Amino acid sequence: MEVPGYRIRDELARDTHYVVCRGETHDAVPVLLKLPLSPSPHPAAIASLRREHELMTALDLDGVPRPRAFEPQGALVLEDIGATSLRAVLRPGPAALDDFLWIAPELARTLGELHRRRLIHKNVSPESVLVEPKSRRVQVFDFSLASRLPQETQAASPPQLLPGRLGYMSPEQTGRMNRVVDYRTDLYSLGALLYEMLTGRPPYHSDDPLELVHAHMAKAAPAPAELGSGVPEVLSEIVMKLLSKTPEGRYQSAWGLRADLERCAREWTAKGAIARFPPGEQDVPEAFTIPQHLYGREAEIRVLLEAFERACTGRAALLLVAGYSGIGKTSLVNEVHKPIVRLKGRFVSGKFDQLERSTPYAALLQALRGLVRQVLAESEPRIAALRERLALALGPNASVVAAVIPELELLLGPQPPAPSCPRPKPRTASTTCSRASFPSSHGRSIHSWCSSTTCSGRTPRRRSFSRACSPTQRCATSS
């Protein structure tokens, strides 16, 4: 890897797209360089580095490395204070309590400053933190996912494709909690990082990305104090508060967290022990947030989840949800993500769009294209197994189906034209594909959600939410 004008030395951190190296300029000034891993980077990777440069320049914080330059061929050049990656510090095992007690409050302070500037980092992990023990400086970098929006909705993409590091990702950032992502996602990720500093391992670990997602959403990690590593009880409680599944259960500001951590550090220095106190005594919300809860939908959620459970026993099920736009159909249906993750099912959706009214089965095809794309993100052995089953099920009709689901050729390879169908008719194709590809693979259930409320040209007849009529449909199959 080469950048004209710089000498690159050792590597500090890397993720799937970028590497961070230590280096120096031609006049021997030490710098950090963040570079795309690919030798011929996609323009989007370079644009993302440029955005990161702009964000970091605007920050001007001690807890964030100051940018020195942006090289247009794709290099973000940052100041180097001689720090090492926190990942390297943690490699031999948990951090010493003394180190924890100066690193943790500094991290909380930097997050507090970022949140005060209305910036959410969204990727806090040991790979994105630098520590310099001599001057006791801590820096947060890796702003490639940082957001200026107060709230964002994360789609429930396949876990392999979720932006960020899965081991430190908040439940809402997995896109399956039916909740928006706000600044409190950083407090969860910081909780996972502090957990690892105390215990030597992240709260959840699995080689299966979907299992990791499920753990963040629903499993309870053992408290650090329970792991028998001499962790003071109150630090353990602070970390577990940060790891709360719902943002409301966490600290509501990094300042409240910092106050508690500094109190622990003071007591530890003075007495060599930390007395218990209730965490969050000085915690004041950073911003006004309305609790995200579906009010008055308990009965509908129950019906939905019961239908889901029934469908999982092997019988296909169809559930219709009707109502005017904005009444909460999508919000209700999104509740099904939680059990789907537990059972390693898949969720696909399609919408009868106003501009697609001339395409037969447009929403169904959209859902099936999404399904193939999800499959393509899986591991090669799983893809190979499904490829075999699909090829068998589709037989000579594969090219007819591929004409309306082009992604299928990525899965099955180029298909010879079907003998009796010179010009594929979308209607025939979608009938074939709905028969052939809905059977689930690997014992997974598939849930499809077709929405047509606003665009189907049919007026909902009833206002009532629970009494179903036809404008919106949801169907589920399982095998």
Q: How far is the CB of 465 from ligand ADP (least distance, A)?
A: 9
Cβ(180)–Cβ(209) below 8 Å:
no
Pick 123 or 472: Cβ nearer ligand ADP: 472
Pick 166 or 333: Cβ nearer ligand ADP: 333
Q: Does 330 bind Mg ion (CB under 5 A)?
A: yes
Cβ(173)–Cβ(124) below 8 Å:
no
Burial class of residue 269 in the structure, from the number of CB atoms within 10 Å of its CB (0-12 exposed, 13-18 middle, 19+ buried): exposed
Q: In degrees to the nearest 10, what's the CA dihedral of 206, 212, 215, 217?
A: 170
Please state, in angstroms and rounded to a whole number, the distance separating the CA atoms of residues 232 and 470: 58
Pick 224 or 323: Cβ nearer ligand ADP: 323
The number of angstroms, rounded, from the C-alpha of 37 to the middle of its chain's C-alpha atoms is: 21
Residue 229 interacts with, from Mg ion, ligand ADP, none (CB under 5-8 Å by kind) = none
Residue 288 interacts with, from Mg ion, ligand ADP, none (CB under 5-8 Å by kind) = none
Buried-state track 307-331, b at ≥16 Cβ within 10 A, e below 16: bbeebbeeeebebebbbeeebbbbe
Determine the angle formed by the axes of helices 254-271 and 184-199, rounding to 10 degrees: 30
Residue 327 interacts with, from ligand ADP, Mg ion, none (CB under 5-8 Å by kind) = ligand ADP
Q: How far is the CB of 341 from Mg ion (least distance, A)?
A: 21
Beta bridge partners of 6: 25
Q: How far is the CB of 300 from ligand ADP (least distance, A)?
A: 9
Pick 334 or 441: Cβ nearer Mg ion: 334
Pick 34 or 351: Cβ nearer Mg ion: 351
Q: Quote the tokens at residue 407.
A: 């992604």
Residue 4 interacts with, from ligand ADP, Mg ion, none (CB under 5-8 Å by kind) = none
Q: Which residues bind ligand ADP (CB under 6 A)?
A: 294-297, 323, 325-331
C-alpha separations of 53 from 37, 255, 277 in Å: 17, 26, 41
Options 89-97, 236-244, 324-332, 412-420: segment touching Mg ion (CB under 5 A): 324-332
Please state, in angstroms and rounded to a whole number, the distance separating the CA atoms of residues 58 and 53: 9
Residue 326 interacts with, from Mg ion, ligand ADP, none (CB under 5-8 Å by kind) = ligand ADP
Q: How far is the CB of 326 from ligand ADP (least distance, A)?
A: 5
Q: Does 157 bind Mg ion (CB under 5 A)?
A: no
Options 81-89, 266-274, 301-309, 322-330: segment touching Mg ion (CB under 5 A): 322-330
Q: Does 454 bind Mg ion (CB under 5 A)?
A: no
Q: Does 428 bind Mg ion (CB under 5 A)?
A: no
DSSP 191-209: HHHHHHHHHSS-S---SSH
Binding site for Mg ion (CB under 5 A): 330
